[in-house]
Every structure is written in structure tokens, then in C-alpha cells.
Structure 1
Amino acid sequence: MLKLHALGRLTLLDEEGRDLAPQGSKARGAVALLATAPGYTRTRAWLQQRLWSDRAPEQAAGSLRAALSEIRRALGPHRQMLIASRHAVSLDPAYFQIVYEPSDGEQPGSAPQAFEDVAVHDRAFELAIRAVRGDVLVRWTQQRRTAARRKRIVLVRSDARGAPAADVGARLLQNRILSALRQIDDLEIMSAGADDGANDLDVPGGQPQAMLLIRVLSVAVKDDVFLSCEIQSGRRLWSDSASVPGAIGAMHESVELDRLALSTVDHVVDAFVDQASIEGSNACALALAREARNLFFQLDKASLINADRLFQRAFEIEARGRYLAWRGFLRNAAFFQHRSMSFLDGSATVTDFAIEALRHSPDDAIVHTISSQIEYIHQGSLRTPLVMAQRGVTRDPTEPLGWALLSNALSTNGKLEEGYRAALRALDLSRNGPFQFYFEHFACMAAVALAEYDQALLHARMALRFRPDFVSTRRYEVALLLHRDDTPRLNLSVASLRQQEPGFTSIALLDSSYPVNTLRRLPIMDTVVKRASPYPDVIGTPTPAIIGRAGVIAARRSRGAP
């Protein structure tokens, strides 16, 4: 039986390893289309329309006959594999097997393209082979997901002592941790009894496994509950603790509990990532996505390009919607930071990524929260993003990005105080971490919406202290200093922004194409309109053009336009 390799180069190998695939581009294209067709069969008319769409029917029919003759000659003693009637052409499955892996000798690594050397310069064929490649990739991904691999197991042991509040605290912390872990990756969650350990689990079928034990201890002390969490894998890898209120309602709202849960999840993921590979055919999607997320927050072009490729590869290994959502969100970030996303590969739009992410993972928390922002930025919707962001935070209340995007959705829907509280929640969860600057920005936006301008400026300065090149926050700083009529600091802020955008002047904030979607909706723009300047180092005075633009901004804000 012949083996038809669908990944990498098209090869049709016999038992001795000889490649019997035809060499002509149209003949190879026909083999690829037939091998992936329902029942391995296509009508002659269908093949002619894909391979010779620019030719008359008689010419296309003659060209197809020539291509079929070439395929038979290449197959030699296996020519019976090709069956042709007056109306249809088939490949006999008794003679070949499709293999969703590259042939031997091809370089392992990131997922190869299906039939990557099959090229026919015909628009109809290009559309057809693109769909074929997508289907092959799905099959390859499914095959890898069902194949034996290093299984990730989390054992959980909880111990509560003292008042009933201790038991509530232990259960709440455990549930937050496990809910977040299930959002991130397929894990087998198992309860560990008092005498169980991370090293004595019976391994079914002798399959190698990556295993961690999480110990949760909860002790009620007067009006508080002391919580501690420890991660073990033969030895203690990490531990931390928090004190939360003993009252049930306050415990549910405790940022300290959520921060402990978030930190536990981060360290569990880090431990699994340390055991995984990010190179070669056995790469771990979890490890790739972890590295990609870290690169995302660097925000420079090279990091965004690398992050996008890692998210793409993670999706090729495990088809999770969150990797697509991040690719869409990454393009948003590229546009806001660099005013372009053209340096990123691919033709899919930001909205395309969001739609596909929801289709693949309709219950994923981060998919909902990221999609809420994409819906707001690219569709101009207000209510739908709020519902999506709320749904995401409900499913995973430990994710700071979820709270940040919920903050934006609340503020743009007029829920200003709730929006600022949500932004502070995101900031509290991320405080003292490497990405705090990003969440200071959302707090700045929410404070501006609330007209708490002094507080907004504090958030902006904190973000810029960590990341002086973060242009989204720098734009808000310019608006806030315009509002303050603080010429010296404004000139410094504009000069800093011009290092990233050489042509920037404060009047750019009035341009409808300039990436300040939320800022344009806020009352502070009334002052910006009056004081913005086309010059880099002065506060301007109203001109007829600026006054006219002010009317446009006011009208758009009154009808809720973006």
C-alpha cells in the first residue's frame, strides 16, 4: 500500500520508499484535490474548474486527460489506484493511505504546510487548496491531541481548621485555582487524600506523566481566615499565603484571595512549562503560549511578531480559541502602539480571529473578554462588549486582563464608578508584577472617564515610569496636561511621544483615525479641542478648523459613535 503524505511536500511512497507522485504541477494539484475529497472522488467538471478555470471547457477537458495520463505513468505498477470514468475521477483507497505527518527526512519543528510544494497558478485552485490545507491542519491537530503525550495531572489536597469559614475559604480558593487552570489547558484534576503524594500515583498503562500536587490550608483565626497554598512535585516548588476576611461575602470579594489563586495558577503553569519543550515536534502549546504572552507585553514590533508566531504554532498543536483571540488582540495592540499591523503575517482580520476563537472555544473566559474589546473597537458596539466582558470575568475572576477589559466596557456604557473599581481590581491583581504598567493604563482611562483627572495622571505617571515608550498612556498624559493647561509638562510629554511618533502634535488627538477610541467619547475632549495645537511645543488657541472638529466630536459622542 502506498503512503500519501499530506504534510510538507506531496509524496506518494511505496514499500521501498520510492516516491511515485507525478512531477507536473497540474497533476500534483489533481492528486492533492482527490486525496482530500469526500470519497476520494471529484467530477471531471469540478477538477477542470479548479485547475484550468481560464480555459474553454474543451481545452480544460483535454488538459485533464493529459494530467491523468501523467499520474498513471508515475504510479507505474500501482496505476489501478486512479479510476476515471466519463464523469468522475477517483483514487481507490485500497491502494493508498493518507498520513498526516511529513515524510521521513523532512525537518521537524513547527507545523508544516499541507502540500506545501503543490502550486498551480490559477485563482480557483488557490482558493481550493487553501481550504484543503485548512482541513488537513485540523486533522493533524486532532491526531496530535488524541495521540499519546505527556499527560498533565494536578492533585489537590485541602485542609480546613477552625470555624466553618475556614472550610469556605479553602473551597473558594481551590475552586478559583482549578477554574483558572481549566481555562488554560486540559488537565486531569484529581483529589489527593491525606496520605497521597505526588509521586505514588498509579500511572495507567505506564504512560509518562507530568504531575503536581497543590496543598491548600485554611485556618480560621478570630474574624479572619488564614490561607496558604503550596505546590509540590517530589519537593516543594513554591508556597505563599494570604489573610482574608472571615465574613462569607467579603471573602468572595477579597482581592487577596484572588491574588493568591492567580499566583498559584501562574506557578503551576510555570512548573509544567519547565517540564515541556518549546522546540521540535513535541512542543507544548502551553509553553509556547506562555512565552508568547510574555512577549506581547513587550509591545515592540519584533516581540509582537514573535508572539504572533508562537500563538499560531500553539494553535497548530492544540486548536484552542484563546490562541486565536490573543492573535486578534495582539493586532489591536500593534495598531495602538505602532499605528499599523501590516508588519504581522497573515490576511485574517482582527474580527476574523475573534469569530474563530469563539467558534473553537465558546466557554473560554479570556476568549470572551478579548472578544469584547475587539467588538468595541472594530464594530463600535457598546452593549454586547459589556455582556461578553462580564461573562469572561464571571468564568475566571483571577485574570487581571478580564477585569481591565470589563472596566473599559463599563466606562463606555456610562457605568463610570463600576468601571474604575474594575480597573483597580485588575491593578490590584497585577501589582508588583512585570505587567503592572499595562493595567495602570486601564486605571488611567477609567479615572479620566470618571473625571478624576488628578488620579488619572497618577496612574499615567506610574505606567510611564515602568514603560516610558507606552504610547497609549502617553496620549492620555497629553490630554490630561492639556486639561491642566500645564505647558512645561505638556511640552515634555509631547516630546516623549514624538520619540515614538515623530510627527505627533496634540492636534492629532482630534483626528478620527488616531487610535484614541475611548478618549474621544469622554468630556475631557471638550478641553482638548480648545487647547490642542498643530505645533509640537505650545498649547494652541481655537482655530476655525479646530472649532469645526469640536462640533463633529460632540455630535458623535452624543449619538454614541466610536
Structure 2
Amino acid sequence: MQDADIPVRISVLGPFSVDLANGNCATPKGAKNQALIALLALSPDMTRPRRWLEDKLWSTFGPEQASANLRQALSKLRKSLEPYETALSADRTTVSLNPSMVSVDLLAGALPADDRIELLEGMDARDPEFEEWLRMERMELQTRLARAKPSEAKGVLIACRTKTSSDDPTAHLIGDVLANRIGENVAEQVRAWRQASDQDDPMAQAPVSDISIQCDLLQDGSGQAVFLKAVHQPSARILYSKLHQVNRLGDVLETSEDIAKVIFEAADTIVGKLPQVLDKSRPETRATALSRLAIYRMFSFERNGLREAYGLMKQAHELDENGIYLAWLGMVRLIQLMELLEADPQALREEAIAFNQVAMEQGADNALVQAIVSQVRGAAQRDAQGAFDLAEIALERNAASAFAWQSFAEANMAAGRQDIAFAASQRARRIARTSPFRHWWDLGHCLISIACNRPLEALEAGEAAARAAPSSRPAHRNLLALYALDGQLDKAREVAAKLEKIEPGFSLDRIVNDENYPVRTLRKNGLLDPIRALL
């Protein structure tokens, strides 16, 4: 059938519309009805299960009401499509559009000439599940637009500079080291290059940098102060700025804990803002945005969140073949494996190991890659020595990385060096205290504290993890056991009730008696028995 013969034409680029071959406009009234057509139009084979559609449009309703709402919407849509109502069909399980009768501008290969044209512009079905679906579809469109403009990921250019009123060359060196360490931490997370400056002819022939990281050393009454500022050069937007007291300049060379906090915070803030300021046609811009969102979804520990994280991180690597994205993919698979979220754990293990191997090939000199691979290797491959070697190298390369300190803590824990593990985990947690993902380190410290038989420290870290990530199932599982151990049975019951809401299939009997339930550290350290008081 030629395109001209197709009776129903759906436009999803820009404002949503449905037009018929007889010249009539069939765009249905009501956001839910429009959203229903859009969901089908952009689905594989234009078909979806009824229950899936109900979850996307009426997720806050009970099953019976959601089913009734869908039936009512389908009745209205059939009427709006007359005389081509057979383009829409439904049976007891599925709803479909007929691809031979329906064309969709986006599926037909059309792409907006203007990047500002939005998918389903202005559509608001007022359901969180639909909004999440729409956000993902818009992201996929941006990926297609980026691919339609092929370009090589050349990397973000970072100029690291220092300024000091002191004539002491050591002070200038210290500032240079600090600025460069922030730039190096950024370059671990995205493809980036640091620019060197010539003192006699600073940046004379060099291309204009994307980001300038400047460290100003100031003398004050109590000693030294450092003013750090990161600026997006083309727009002069300030991405990060902070005045920090330095007890002694040697702290910078030794990467003291306070200095590590500043470096980690500055780099994390800069990376988080890069997608907002860099040209969106650049592969590294898109890859950074995708990977950042993927990490948010990964650290939710939810089945769908992890699946989404996998897809996002895979897209990031397709745009920019950077080993860090493969390392994160290995971590996604490890979390799915440890949380028992998928049907084939052996396949997850094998895929995590495969990602590790290629990540190390593509990011052999990247301390963040080494830290993540260390954690995956230790847990998925049971290679304690290999994990320790990588963690040690990662820490030597970057003592300001909370990820490196956490991998070092886990590697020492596996080797039975509890005191070293506990101290390293504490340090990792303090360095990452401003991170939007700080619950990752809180949870890690909770587990290490449990393994070290330090229940009070474990309880404090577990509570912090649950506050930062209220839907974190691992954090709540540990809190349940720790509250029961501490005799706080009322709080333990509250946590159990919370788990029943956020974890399908949870029960007290399962956490205590199911050997496969993902509470290995609690079980190994005998902390599940106190929960029996709640049964």
C-alpha cells in the first residue's frame, strides 16, 4: 500500500494530531485518549497488552477502574476514527493499531529539521508512568537526531589554571596540582582532555577550551585560602565555585581528606552540569547526559530502574565508545545479579565479566574504570586478589575518588582486613557526602559495618541511606535486621511495612528463611534471628 493510500496519519513530532484520508481531523479530545493513541503508535508493531496501557495511563487507579477507563477510551477512539475504525482493534489481552492502515511520521523516517521540535509537544496525561515513558521516548528521539548528524567524540577541552599573589613558585605549583586534579576527575567520567598552558605565552595557539578550572591561592590571617571556579568558556556560565580554607599547602600534594572532598565535589558538580551547557549535537554531551541519568536509575536498585539504566548506558557507549560506560554496564549487571532481579543469574554474571574485559581495554588508565571493575570482579568473579590489585591501583591514581576508596574497602573486607576496610569505607563516605548518589556509599558502609560487627555504625549508615533514597530496598532490609537487633521492634515493623510497599513478594518469613533472599551479609553474621520476634 502506498503512503497516499494509508487512511490514518498520526503526527507525533510537535503537537499531536490524527488526520484521515477523507480530509477530516480525527485528533481525539482529552489528553488520556490522545496519549493512548500515542502509546500504541510508538509501540513495537503498534501493539501493547491492555494491562501495560492501563499502567501507563491509570497507574494510580485500582485494576478494575483502570480496565473500565481503558474500555471507555477505546470506545471514544473508535468513534473518532470513523469510517476507518478498523484501524484500531482490541481483544481480551491486547490493543493494536493496524500498521497497514496507520502511518506515523516518526516511524516513516521523518526527523525534525529543528532540534527544538519536541516529541508529543504539550501532551500531559497526568500520570507519572506516562510521563516517564514520554521522557524516555524523547530521549530516544534526541539520540536519533544525534546519530543523524554523525560526528566523532573529540572530548571536552578543560583548561586548568592557577593564580596566586605569592612569589613562591611552590604556591603556584600547588594551585596547578589542585586545578588539574579536578580536571582529571572530570576526565574519568566523560571523554575530556586537559589543556597545558605555556607560562611565557599562555594558551596563545591553543583552541578555546570548553571548561576553565581556575584555582586562586589567597593569603588570609589564618593561613591559605583557595578559591576554585569552573566556567563554561563560550557562555561564561559558572558551573562551580567555592572558597576553601587550607590548613597547609602540603594537604593538596598529599590529597588529605578535606582536599579530596573538594576535588570530588567540584568534579561531580561540573559533570552534572555539562549536558546543560555543551552543544547538544556533540556525542560526548549526549553520552554524558545519558550516563548521568543511568546512574540515577541504577542506584534506585529497582528492577525497572536497572533495566532502564542498562539501556541508557548502552546508548551512551554507542554514542561515545568510552570504557567508563562499559564499566557501569558491568555494575548494572552485578546489582541485578546480587538483587536476584532477573531470571538467568549466570547470564548476568557472564555479561558483567565480558563488560569488565572490554572496559579495561578501552579505559586502562582510568582510575574510575579500575575502581568499578574491581568491585564487579570481586563480587561476580570471586577474584579477591584481582579486585584488590585494581582497587590499589585506582587509589594510587586518584586518592580523591570516593569510588576508589569504596573499592579498596571492599577488597580489604574480602581479604579479612576489617580495620582497614572500615576506615577506607568511612573515608569514601565522607568524601562523597555532597554527591546526589551518596546513599551508595552509605549503603556500602552499612554493609561493611555489619561485616565488622559494628551494629551501631551500621544502623547510622543504613538510616542515612534510607533518608537519601527512600525506595532503596537494600537499605531497608538492613535496617529491619538492625532495628530488631537493637530491640527497636516498632521501628522494625515500620520498615517491614515499607518493604511490603516497595518490594513485591516481600515477607518476614522470606527474609528469615529463604536462603536465596539477597541478605548475604546479614545471614553470614547471624543478624536475621532477631527478626523472628516479629513473626
TM-score bracket for the superposition, by shorter chain length = 0.5 to 0.7
- Give 1:445 shift: 1.7
The answer for the alignment partner of 1:235 in structure 2 is 236
Q: How does 1:285-304 map to 2 (within 5 A)?
A: 285-304=287-306
Which amino acid is 1:215 matched to? Q
3-state SS of 1:388 partner: helix
Question: Percent of counterpart pairs with the same letter?
Answer: 19
The answer for the alignment partner of 2:182 in structure 1 is 177
The answer for the alignment partner of 2:212 in structure 1 is 213
The answer for the alignment partner of 2:193 in structure 1 is 188
Q: 1:454 to 1:348 in 2, by over 3 A?
A: closer
Contact 1:210–1:272 (Cα < 8 Å) also in 2 = no
CA distance in 2, matches of 1:339, 1:256: 38
1:476-532 deviations in whole A, cap 9, x for unaligned?
A: 2223234324433322222222321433226635644222344444xx32x53x445
- Give 1:358 shift: 1.9
Contact 2:153–2:282 (Cα < 8 Å) also in 1 = no
Contact 2:149–2:281 (Cα < 8 Å) also in 1 = no
CA distance in 2, matches of 1:280, 1:164: 38
Q: 1:236 to 1:166 in 2, by over 3 A?
A: farther
CA distance in 2, matches of 1:474, 1:354: 29
**CA RMSD, aligned part only?**
3.7
Say whether residues 1:505 and 2:504 are aligned partners. no
Q: How does 1:41-52 map to 2 (within 5 A)?
A: none
Say whether residues 1:159 and 2:160 are aligned partners. no
CA distance in 2, matches of 1:334, 1:511: 18
> Which of 426, 431, 438 is residue 428 of structure 2 equivalent to?
426
The answer for the alignment partner of 1:225 in structure 2 is 224
3-state SS of 1:349 partner: helix
CA distance in 1, matches of 2:342, 2:389: 29
- Give 1:183 shift: 2.2
> Which of 305, 313, 335 is residue 311 of structure 1 equivalent to?
313
TM-score norm. by structure 1 comes to 0.60
1:344-374 deviations in whole A, cap 9, x for unaligned?
A: x999622222222223322222222222222
CA distance in 2, matches of 1:468, 1:333: 18
3-state SS of 1:340 partner: coil
Which amino acid is 2:420 matched to? E
The answer for the alignment partner of 1:494 in structure 2 is 496
Say whether residues 1:363 and 2:365 are aligned partners. yes
> Which of 514, 519, 527 is residue 517 of structure 2 equivalent to?
514
3-state SS of 1:215 partner: strand
Q: 1:195 to 1:259 in 2, by over 3 A?
A: farther
Q: 1:148 to 1:278 in 2, by over 3 A?
A: closer
The answer for the alignment partner of 1:415 in structure 2 is 417
The answer for the alignment partner of 1:374 in structure 2 is 376
CA distance in 1, matches of 2:281, 2:478: 40
Q: 1:330 to 1:347 in 2, by over 3 A?
A: closer
Contact 1:241–1:260 (Cα < 8 Å) also in 2 = no
Contact 1:507–1:532 (Cα < 8 Å) also in 2 = no
TM-score norm. by structure 2 comes to 0.63
Q: Which runs of 5+ in 1 are unaligned?
A: 1-104, 110-142, 204-208, 541-562
Q: How does 1:341-360 map to 2 (within 5 A)?
A: 349-360=351-362
- Give 1:251 shift: 5.9
Q: How does 1:459-470 map to 2 (within 5 A)?
A: 459-470=461-472
CA distance in 2, matches of 1:348, 1:291: 25
Contact 1:375–1:385 (Cα < 8 Å) also in 2 = yes
Contact 1:161–1:167 (Cα < 8 Å) also in 2 = no
1:149-194 deviations in whole A, cap 9, x for unaligned?
A: 6663222211234467634531331232232233234433223467
> Which of 470, 473, 492 is residue 471 of structure 1 equivalent to?
473
- Give 1:440 shift: 1.2
